Amino acid sequence: MSATVPLHASAADLRATDARDTTTKSLAGAELAFAHMALEQGIRAAFLANFADDGIAFEPAPVILRKAWSARPATPGPGAVRLEWRPAQVGVARSGDLGYSTGPYTLTDASRPGLTRHGVFFSVWRRDAAGPWRVALDIGVATPAVPDFAALGPAPRPHYRGRADPATERRRLLEMEAHTFVTDPVGPPEIRFAALLADDVRLHRQGRFPVASKAAVAGDVAARLARITWQPSDARISNAGDMAVSWGRYRETDRAFDVREGHYAHLWLRDAQGRWRLAYDITHPDPA
């Protein structure tokens, strides 16, 4: 994925585009190296090496991966269980300290010949100014087969270029998210689910292929649900204040008034007017 260069771009615009392209490539390279390490050294070793100290994985509830996995017995060596993945789309913040990668994964187990599981991973990465990329959050969903990312369109990216205070934006985002939203196109915008969506939003749900675009996601959710409540646990904001990841608990009420609960992860991007818009909505339902 490369950033779009505006017509009659200034030298500053071109430098910013080159910097974002370089940062995007470095994040894609980190994801590829992570995937290669998982095949060469095993899943456990690769995850422990590539996650941040406070990096979160969903199992389905969020856990601090390094703390949780370090306390568990070692898994079988490389080749017993193979987790293969590759980044299909990557996006980065203007400040180059936060980004995401998503694509298809395949899981096979040598002890269960013929069993192959497909899905979509979604990873948020962060780095310090001079440090390597580390995984801040990782969540995935199963899909019926290998998903076609080309059909989804270009990777969503932030468009905000103004100044921002990350601490202020974090508070503002968490306050905005901690509400109940309706899926019908009625009521004030601040309680309508569709009003939160980016034009190129993606919906990732267990057992389904990703859904892309504001119209498709809003229609899909409205057909199934009447209300959605989010209880955010925390959020991470880029230094540029243009990209954020949040996670927490959700409660969904369907059209028959049945309730389902679970955990969510959201990627938020700011548009050119500075409004936070939901770019990725990913859930893990509680076990039945």
The predicted pLDDT at position 39 comes to 94
Return the number of other C-beta atoms located less than 10 Å from residue 224's C-beta.
13
The rounded Cα 54 to chain-centroid distance in angstroms is 17
Residues constituting the chain: 288
The pLDDT value recorded for residue 76 is 62
Structure tokens at 36: 């290669």
What pTM was estimated for this model as a whole? 0.91
Residue 259 tokens read as 């309730």
Domain 166-285: assigned CATH number: 3.10.450.50
In 10 A of CB 138, how many CB atoms?
22
Mind listing the pLDDT tens digit of every residue in the chain (288 residues)? 333 334 444 444 434 555 678 999 999 999 999 999 999 999 999 999 999 999 999 999 999 999 999 988 776 666 688 999 999 999 999 999 999 999 999 999 888 888 899 999 999 999 997 789 999 999 999 999 999 999 999 999 999 999 999 999 999 999 999 999 999 887 777 789 999 999 999 999 999 999 999 999 999 999 999 999 999 999 999 999 999 999 999 999 999 999 999 999 999 999 999 999 999 999 999 998
**76 phi, psi to nearest 5 deg:** -55, 155
pLDDT the model gives residue 26? 96
Dihedral (CA of 52, 121, 220, 249) sign:
negative
Residues 42-71 pLDDT 10s: 999 999 999 999 999 999 999 999 999 998
Contact 13, 6 (CB under 8 A): yes
Give the domain ranges of the chain. Answer: 11-152, 166-285
Beta-strand ranges (E) seen in 147-258 are 180-182, 197-204, 211-212, 225-237, 243-254
Q: Do domains 11-152 and 166-285 have the same CATH topology?
A: yes
CATH architecture of the domain 11-152 equals Roll (3.10)
Q: What is the pLDDT of residues 106-152, one digit of tens each?
A: 999 888 888 899 999 999 999 997 789 999 999 999 999 999 999 99
> What sign for the dihedral angle of Cα 187, 192, 198, 199?
negative
User: How far is residue 163 from each of residues 9, 94, 166, 207, 265, measured CA to CA in Å?
Assistant: 20, 11, 10, 40, 26
> Measured between alpha carbons, how far is 269 from 94 in angstroms, rounded to an integer?
11
